[in-house]
Structure 1
Amino acid sequence: MELTTHLINDTINLYKWALTIADKRVEKWPLMDNPLPTLAISSSYLLFLWLGPKYMQNREPFQLKKTLILYNFSMVVFNFFICKELFLAARAAGYSYICQSVDYSDDPNEVRIAAALWWYFISKGVEYLDTVFFILRKKFNQVSFLHVYHHCTMFTLWWIGIKWVAGGQSFFGAHMNAAIHVLMYLYYGLASFGPKIQKYLWWKKYLTVIQMVRDPFTVT
């Protein structure tokens, strides 16, 4: 019991110390004051993973065609915005794609990069809807361990990224991933129209190759 108390106190003290070196520019931004809202959203996601299939067990799958079209094309626009902001701001700030330190100043380009990375963090939360739609459509085979691990950890880990390193080399992975997500959600959006459009989506295999090449270089 005493050991547990010490561990809890040490963890709290470590967190308090970590807050002293956090990025002051982002502390008042939505969800960034403390990790509890982010953890609550992720916990709700995991709860839905447990309750969702039970709810759908004896029900017909939802089609959600219009919802999926709207969602996927909205994500195309969202990721294009993030990609564009990171590209323009990083170029204006003279960023290196190989090794770039974090600048915590209030330089307009640095703040713009931090803001774009915050939007990227938000996009990871929005992507929880990918899983929600799979479950409502009873596409349970799509909800693999890797799928859940990817979605759940990225939203949480990017909170840490924005809290302490909203800039520097972290822009590279977000930039690359947002660009690929433009193509990915474009494919999903077009595929949502049905067989008449799907037959023209011959480029899916190239999208898969791009995603495989990307993975060793960026966490998404």
Structure 2
Amino acid sequence: MLGKQIASPIVSARDNARIKGEWGSYETDDEGNESSDLLLIENGILKNYLVDELGSRRMNMKPTGCCRRQDYSYNPTSRMSNTYICAGESTRDEIIANTEYGLYCTQMGGGSVDTSTGDFNFAANEAYMIRNGKIAEPVRGATLIGKGQEILKNIDMVGNDLELSAGMCGSVSGNVPVTVGQPTIRVSSILVGGRDAE
């Protein structure tokens, strides 16, 4: 997969454990390797994986300093740190003005991802309709549904307003602090589920 187009050419993404002061930052991973600023996707091309010591032997690749765990009662494994889609060139206002009909999500809620298939669903806790390039009425109960690998290819505008947010990531190696982020992005096509208004 390395070197293959997996996203729109306007999408780049990083996992940077070395950002000073961010929740997911660290200097040395739980295998003793120095953390890194890793370019994952560049202009839609997959450039790197998160690789721990075991993965490095299996894949004949250098470890990337991403092996983490909650505490010593867990076995360490490759984990994200500060992971984000890089800022693009469009302003938020340009993205909205260039959208004839869409859903503008300002706050996402809980959801799930099937890592074996890429299928996901996430609740939109705060969302508004976009009509004729303007934000219109609020929407309640919307859920975004899709496959990660398809959505990455459907991104057709990327904002210059990158924002990061702290959180926790749970996995087989426990819960670890992370930061996630993205600018405003426009996805040309996505399935939106919902419920009838009460």
TM range (shorter): under 0.3
Give 1 or 2: higher strand fraction: 2
Q: TM-score, normalised by structure 2?
A: 0.25
Q: TM-score, normalised by structure 1?
A: 0.23
- Higher RCO (CA < 8 A, seq sep 6+): 1
Give 1 or 2: higher helix fraction: 1
